Amino acid sequence: MAQNIPRKVTLRQLRGMKARHEPIVALGVYDSPMAAWADALGFEMFIIGNSGPMSLFGHRSSTTVKPQELLFMTQAVSRVTQSALIVATMPYMSYCASREESVRTAAWLVAEGGADGVQCHGNRHTAPFIAAIVNAGIPVLAHLGLQSVRKTEQSGYGVKGRDAAEAEKIVADASALVEAGAFAILLELVPEEITKYLSSRLDVPVLSLGSGLEGDGVYLVSADLTGYSVARKPSTAGDFIDVRPIIEGALHSYLLKARKRAYPHPSLSRHMSAEEMKRFRSLIQDRSGASARKKRGRRTGGTRP
């Protein structure tokens, strides 16, 4: 019987879903268990973003996330993923200096990490570098709106594009990045009106992260979705589940039982047979006798040549 191998999500498939008004569902994943479970459910896209090292490694800013951390997370996801399109985030400032560095870093995430494409927090000024990545044959997901690597420039993590001038800038940046070859646009924390405007005017899918229902799909970080993070759960994460109380309860129960010597339970212990125990004692006695003779020899000088 032929094995039923899941088909890999393609860029053509994503464009087709947009044309048919079928919602694309993307998930931020950073480890093998989450990727394996989610891939079996049928998500279209996995994104390995800076929120992974921030949630799981304790980074307070995405600008301090190391390239190797993104690589290791991408490898963990790609090893177990069969269907979802894997998009790895480009490290901070790795696509802002030169076309050569941009292509080299993107190729590194594909060749070493197993990614299918990369994500860039771009704008019209970085569009030429993003175009170079696309021209090299590596798909690019462009991230607009709230850009964590530009926290200081953007005056924090609030909603972006509420005033007309800022909204127009987001639209202009999106158009430049699509012209550069981006296969999709991810909008984080922008007004729903901007999401609807871009989704209706751009040929590529527009995904919403806290940016309303009017896009071609949605994106949510698994650490936010589940509450498994050192950071506070954002209001945009929705009310799915919070595993923190569950895990804390299990940890507390283990701690108390271990303190009272109630864990491990006797039923969990493993034992030697009586025959092997007898052989063990004999071996230990022989070892102890040999050690004692060696010590006496050193004291009397008997071990010297």
Average pLDDT over residues 257-272: 91
- Residue 40 pLDDT > 90: yes
Q: Are 18 and 12 in contact (CB under 8 A)?
A: no
Give Cβ neighbours of residue 289 (< 8 Å, ≥ 6 apart).
none
Distance CA 275, CA 87 (A): 58
Residue 1 confidence class, pLDDT cut points 50, 70, 90: very low
Instruction: Give pLDDT tens digits for 274-296.
Output: 999 999 999 988 777 776 667 76
- The residue ranges of every structural domain in the chain are 11-248
Which residues form the catalytic set?
Answer: 188
- Residue 155 pLDDT > 70: no
Count of residues in the chain: 305
Q: Please tell me the predicted confidence (pLDDT) of residue 158.
A: 73
**pTM (two decimals):** 0.86
For the chain, how many helices (H) and strands (E)? 11, 8
- Residue 154 pLDDT > 70: no
Instruction: Give pLDDT tens digits for 215-246.
Output: 999 999 999 999 999 888 877 788 899 999 99
CATH number assigned to the domain with residue range 11-248, chosen from the 4 options 3.10.105.10, 3.40.50.280, 3.20.20.60, 1.10.460.10:
3.20.20.60
Q: Which amino acid is at 59?
A: H
Distance CA 193, CA 213 (A): 10
- Residue 87 pLDDT > 70: yes
User: Average pLDDT, whole number, for the chain?
Assistant: 91
Distance CA 195, CA 215 (A): 6
Residue 48 confidence class, pLDDT cut points 50, 70, 90: very high
Q: Please tell me the predicted confidence (pLDDT) of residue 305.
A: 45
Instruction: Give pLDDT tens digits for 162-184.
Output: 899 999 999 999 999 999 999 99
Q: Which residues pair with 221 in a beta bridge?
A: 28
Rg (CA), the chain: 27
Instruction: Give pLDDT tens digits for 6-32.
Output: 799 999 999 999 999 999 999 999 999
